[in-house]
Structure 1
Amino acid sequence: MDDEAFNISLRKFLKMVGVSSQREMEQAVARALQDQAIAGTETFPARMTLEIPGLKLQVHFDGEIRLQ
């Protein structure tokens, strides 16, 4: 195994996930606000799942997204 290649690959994947996830959440909140489906003061439970079938890995990360 090439540790450097592995670490670079992990960082690229995590950056893509972080940037893409943030954009998706921001767009979802903007749509909900525009549709008046939320007030903008809510806190939402959130779950992220990391799955790598080839490694038999599935782990959940629970948290919350606060709008205020």
Structure 2
Amino acid sequence: MNDEVFNISLRKFLKMVGVSSQREIEQAVARALQEGAIAGTETFPATMTLEIPQLNLRTHFHGEIRLEDREP
């Protein structure tokens, strides 16, 4: 295995996932705001699943996306 090739391809994949995911979430929030489906003050629980079937890898990441800061 070539560690350098692996690390570069891994970083490219993660960058693509990060940029694409952010764009999708931003568009979904804008659409929901425009349709009046959300007020713009919500916090959304979010889950990301990473799957690589050939490695028998399936893992979940949990977090939240806030549209406003929480009150102190």
TM-score by length of 1: 0.99
- SS of alignment partner, residue 37 of structure 1: coil
Two-structure CA RMSD over aligned residues (Å): 0.2
1:25 Cα offset (Å): 0.1
What is the total number of aligned residue pairs between the two structures?
Answer: 68
Identity of aligned residues (%): 82
Q: In 2, Cα distance between the equivalents of 1:7 and 1:63? A: 25
Partners of 2:62 and 2:18 in 1: how far apart? 15
Q: CA deviation at 1:65?
A: 0.3
Equivalent in the alignment of 1:53: 53
How is 1:26-37 mapped onto 2 (pairs within 5 angstroms)?
Answer: 26-37=26-37
Give the equivalent residue in structure 2 for 1:14. Answer: 14
Consecutive unaligned residues in structure 2, runs of 5 or more: none
Per-residue CA deviations over 1:2-46 (Å, capped at 9, x if unaligned) read: 000000000000000000000000000000000000000000000
Residue 64 of structure 2: aligned partner: 64
Query: Structure 2 CA distance, aligned partners of 1:11 and 1:44?
Result: 27
Structure 1: which amino acid aligns with 2:26? E
1:44 matched to 2:44: yes
Uncovered stretches (5+) of structure 1, i.e. residues with no partner? none
Could you list the structure 1 runs, at least 4 aligned residues long, displaced by more than 6 angstroms after superposition. Answer: none
